[in-house]
């Protein structure tokens, strides 16, 4: 198969190995493995998880829950604070599958309890330091207020506490990741101890890929929900969460133009393909991707002095060293290893595996067709 | 119609007014108006241009050319340096429509001349200072080399010189935009004078929205190709290219959560919806969007101390002032005015007009279905 346009290449073997490794780790630690499917957003890739015993999944939107429910998944946690405006879709979904919702503020639970018509599981989201969503673990007053509303409605099955330790992404070292994870773990365990008498079966669920990969201490935790590990990316590599060889995604792009006077190479592949998410390079500038060239039939990973450093909608600009520049010819294909694979995958909308198979993702059309309130739900 | 999820709202009246204004300006200046359709990527919105006499368009990829050709446009310039790997799609397209290609280096023209099977128009791209693609206007040796190859193949019809004065986007003032535009204009006119004898009908084509909106001197220029003006956005407003009321797009998002202790409001609407493109706010931080709230039935634009300042895949974080915070309630809908409308539209994939009409865009599926070399072209 000849690639002629920006194409997202997926190394299936690497991807399967990543899934196998994480599934095995969860098994070894006695953890429920409920992978987050927001990274790949693909029913086909989702099915690859079944061989590793996965039966329960995490998603980040009601649309995504609908998509995976239609593709055979029947135990789904929506790990995004409940959006009460989607209540009809939530009720419709909960009719068909075991659905877990996330709450983190009293207003939502109060609105939810008035409108829920089906049985749902409910997690309370704990903010263990990421400071995005969730209630702080020591705000017992607020947690109790939510539990009281849950308790008063038999539709609700309180499942436990869930946290996304997303501040591991800002860590400066592996030790930093261990510390943040351990701090989160202690906060969660304190909750379990506190509520254990009333809820002996409550689940503690933790989420991020860096700590799921790097940490060994999951003492007291019941469930993990990593997502990015399925592909990994430069950010995970920088954090030490994976080896370079574990990165399963590459955006293949045609070389369009070379400008020797400023050591720049222009590729067809821009913000509309790779996304404007970046990491910081050695020179303090934004790095959108590293570059692999094909030289005499051999793939060569160029060092970080040759990197994707500027994006327009369709153009990507690779800054090179003087030597690095000679690796590029107009009409070549180069491979870009993305800074953040989730957003690149979300933009590309499909994968081409190294075996030549096209793998679709949840399409924007899916989102669209359900973007209005169902008329007769 | 009830909005329940991130939805891209288009004010059709504002959009039509933007089109009318630009079409009138082109007419007044005696310029060919060949609008760039990469911003809206929609056949429906494309059709709105016809009422203003538009018959020729600009796109930024072969896929986009295929999409608009299938939707009735038959005079298309692909304003992106020719990607030789797409030659079969280019030949197929050129059979059906008047197609103009862009070249800027000798290697591409040499490959192109061996593989072109249809008549095509060709522009040479001039770098007037944007330093992305194009050959410098004083590199006569390089321009002549390309012209020589064009001249030797009767399939090629040399149309003229095209430039995207994209460095107007980095301007610090209106005067800066005038200067950059005037400098580009002089460079282009010098080329026209130089090549006038051999090519008396050559066209000078300029492109960007800031100069097309702000500048009055188009002396010697034949064609303009602005695109973003159809919607505008915060970046254009900051540059002075439009009034605030001219911005036609807003991303409507549900409010999910409020965190008073840090004056933050969380919306459903993240990098997967609005894109990570940003402008710099008063405080030197990235601003992804400004915020309009609905207060007692009135829409209120909050000032820049209340702004979208952090994005995850699905979450947006609005930082507020202490007063501003009280404008938000969980379950509300807020409107985000995007920093860069092109990338937001590209992500959302469809529009809802203020009249309640859903307008589709070129889908990723379109890209996909033609992402392989046609087998029998």
- Tell me the per-residue pLDDT of B340-370, one tens digit each, with 9 for 90 and over: 999 999 999 999 999 999 999 997 666 655 4
Per-residue pLDDT at A2: 86
A4 and B86 within 8 Å at the Cβ level: the answer is: yes
Quote the CA–CA distance of B199 and B158 in Å, as a whole number.
8
Output b/e per residue, A77-116; b: 16+ Cβ within 10 A.
bbbbbbbbbbbbbbbbbbeebebbbbbbbbebbebbeeeb
E strands, B53-145, in order? 57-59, 75-81, 98-103, 120-127, 135-136
Rounded mean pLDDT of A135-144?
A: 97
Q: Give which of B149, B337, B369, B152 is closest to B244, Cα–Cα.
A: B337
Q: What is the pLDDT of residues A227-252, one digit of tens each?
A: 999 999 999 999 999 999 999 999 99
Q: What is the pLDDT of residues B50-86, one digit of tens each?
A: 999 999 999 999 999 999 999 999 999 999 999 999 9
What single DSSP character describes residue B207? -
| Statement: residue A364 has pLDDT above 90 | no
A1 and B275 within 8 Å at the Cβ level: the answer is: no
| Statement: residue A123 has pLDDT above 80 | yes
Rounded mean pLDDT of A295-324?
A: 95
Inter-chain Cβ pairs, chain A and chain B, closer than 8 A? 190
| Statement: residue B242 has pLDDT above 90 | yes
Rounded mean pLDDT of A148-161?
A: 98
Q: Mean pLDDT, chain B, as a whole number?
A: 95
Nearest Cβ partner for B365 among A268, A330, A363: A363
Per-residue pLDDT at A373: 39
Q: Answer yes or no: are the C-beta atoms of A187 and A136 closer than 8 Å.
A: no
A364 and B367 within 8 Å at the Cβ level: the answer is: no
Per-residue pLDDT at B373: 39
Phi, psi of B298 (to 5 degrees): -110, 140
Chain B environment of A342 (Cβ under 8 Å): 313
Tally of residues, chain A: 377
What single DSSP character describes residue A56? -
Nearest chain B residue to A350 by CA: give it: B368
Q: Give which of B318, B345, B167 is closest to B247, Cα–Cα.
A: B345
Rounded mean pLDDT of A103-115?
A: 98
A363 and B368 within 8 Å at the Cβ level: the answer is: no
Per-residue pLDDT at B366: 62
What single DSSP character describes residue B116? -
Quote the CA–CA distance of A210 and A166 in Å, as a whole number.
9
**CA torsion, ordered A153, A156, A160, A161, to nearest 10 deg:** -90
Per-residue pLDDT at B365: 63
A262 and B313 within 8 Å at the Cβ level: the answer is: no
Chain A environment of B83 (Cβ under 8 Å): 4-5, 254, 256, 268
Q: Give which of B97, B91, B136, B141 is closest to B113, Cα–Cα.
A: B91
Per-residue pLDDT at A363: 78
Per-residue pLDDT at B367: 62
Chain B environment of A80 (Cβ under 8 Å): 256, 268, 314-315
Instruction: Measure A28 CA to nearest chain B CA, in Å.
Output: 30
Chain B environment of A60 (Cβ under 8 Å): 313-314
- The β-bridge relationship of strands B333-338 and B289-295 is antiparallel
Structural domains for chain B = 31-231 (3.20.20.10), 244-360 (2.40.37.20)
Q: What is the pLDDT of residues B190-233, one digit of tens each?
A: 999 999 999 999 999 998 999 999 999 999 999 999 999 999 99
| Statement: residue B36 has pLDDT above 60 | yes
Q: What is the pLDDT of residues B14-34, one digit of tens each?
A: 999 999 999 999 999 999 999
**Confidence class for position B6, pLDDT limits 50, 70, 90:** very high
- Within 8 A by CB and 6+ apart from A23, the residues are A33, A49, A52, A53, A54
Per-residue pLDDT at A203: 98
Instruction: Measure B62 CA to nearest chain A CA, in Å.
Output: 9
Q: Answer yes or no: are the C-beta atoms of A247 and A231 closer than 8 Å.
A: yes
Instruction: Measure B347 CA to nearest chain A CA, in Å.
Output: 7
Q: Which of A273, A288, A312 to mutate to test the interface with B (most CBs of B within 10 A)?
A: A312
**Confidence class for position A365, pLDDT limits 50, 70, 90:** low
Q: Answer yes or no: are the C-beta atoms of A271 and A313 closer than 8 Å.
A: yes
A84 and B364 within 8 Å at the Cβ level: the answer is: no
**Confidence class for position A296, pLDDT limits 50, 70, 90:** confident
Q: What percent of chain A has pLDDT over 70?
A: 96
Please report, for residues B137, B169, B228, B239, B284, the alpha-carbon distance to residue B176 in angstroms, rounded to integers and kept in the order given: 20, 10, 19, 10, 21
Residue A167, CA atoms < 13 Å, CB-side half-sphere: 16
Q: What percent of chain A has pLDDT over 90?
A: 94
Q: Mean pLDDT, chain A, as a whole number?
A: 95
| Statement: residue B124 has pLDDT above 90 | yes
Please report, for residues A122, A129, A134, A216, B272, the alpha-carbon distance to residue A119 in angstroms, rounded to integers and kept in the order given: 10, 31, 23, 35, 30
Please report, for residues A3, A49, A54, A280, the alpha-carbon distance to residue A347 in angstroms, rounded to integers and kept in the order given: 18, 23, 26, 21
Tally of residues, chain B: 377
Q: What is the pLDDT of residues A9-62, one digit of tens each?
A: 999 999 999 999 999 999 999 999 999 999 999 999 999 999 999 999 999 999
pTM for the whole structure? 0.95
Q: What is the pLDDT of residues B250-303, one digit of tens each?
A: 999 999 999 999 999 999 999 999 999 999 998 899 999 999 999 888 999 999
| H/E stretch holding A208 | none
- The β-bridge relationship of strands B120-127 and B98-103 is parallel
Per-residue pLDDT at A368: 57
A343 and B271 within 8 Å at the Cβ level: the answer is: yes
B80 and A372 within 8 Å at the Cβ level: the answer is: no
Q: Give which of B297, B363, B153 is closest to A364, Cα–Cα.
A: B363
Per-residue pLDDT at A64: 97
Q: Give which of B256, B263, B259 is closest to B322, Cα–Cα.
A: B263
């Amino acid at each position: 198969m000849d690639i002629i346009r920006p194409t997202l290449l997926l190394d299936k073997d690497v991807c399967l190995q990543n899934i196998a490794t994480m599934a095995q780790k969860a098994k070894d630690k006695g953890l429920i493995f409920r992978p987050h499917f927001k990274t790949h957003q693909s029913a086909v890739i989702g099915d690859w998880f079944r061989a590793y015993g996965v039966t329960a999944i995490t998603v980040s939107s009601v649309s995504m829950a609908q998509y995976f429910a239609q593709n055979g998944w029947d135990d789904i946690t929506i790990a995004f604070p409940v959006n009460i405006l989607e209540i009809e879709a939530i009720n419709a979904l909960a009719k068909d599958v075991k659905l877990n919702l996330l709450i983190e503020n009293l207003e939502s639970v109060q609105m939810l309890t008035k409108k829920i018509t089906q049985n749902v599981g409910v997690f309370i989201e704990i903010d263990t330091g990421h400071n995005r969503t969730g209630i702080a673990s020591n705000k017992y007053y607020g947690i109790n207020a939510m539990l009281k509303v849950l308790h008063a409605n038999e539709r609700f099955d309180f499942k436990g506490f869930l946290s996304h330790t997303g501040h591991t992404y800002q860590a400066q070292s592996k030790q930093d990741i261990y510390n943040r994870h351990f701090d989160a773990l202690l906060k969660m365990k304190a909750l379990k101890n506190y509520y254990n008498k009333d809820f002996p079966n409550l689940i503690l669920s933790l989420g991020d890929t860096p700590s799921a990969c790097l940490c060994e201490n999951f003492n007291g935790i019941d469930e993990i929900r990593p997502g990015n590990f399925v592909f990994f990316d430069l950010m995970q590599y920088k954090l030490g969460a994976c080896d370079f060889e574990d990165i399963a995604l590459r955006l293949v792009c045609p070389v369009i133009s070379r400008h020797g006077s400023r050591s720049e190479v222009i590729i067809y592949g821009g913000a509309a393909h790779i996304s404007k998410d970046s990491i910081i390079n050695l020179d303090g500038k934004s790095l959108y991707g590293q570059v692999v060239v094909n030289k005499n039939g051999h793939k060569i990973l160029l060092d970080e002095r040759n990197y994707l450093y500027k994006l327009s909608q369709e153009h990507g600009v690779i800054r090179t060293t003087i030597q690095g520049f000679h690796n590029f010819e107009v009409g070549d294909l180069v491979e870009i290893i993305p800074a953040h694979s989730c957003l690149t995958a979300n933009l590309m909308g499909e994968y081409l595996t190294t075996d030549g198979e096209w793998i679709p993702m949840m399409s924007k059309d899916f989102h669209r067709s359900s973007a209005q309130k169902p008329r007769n739900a």
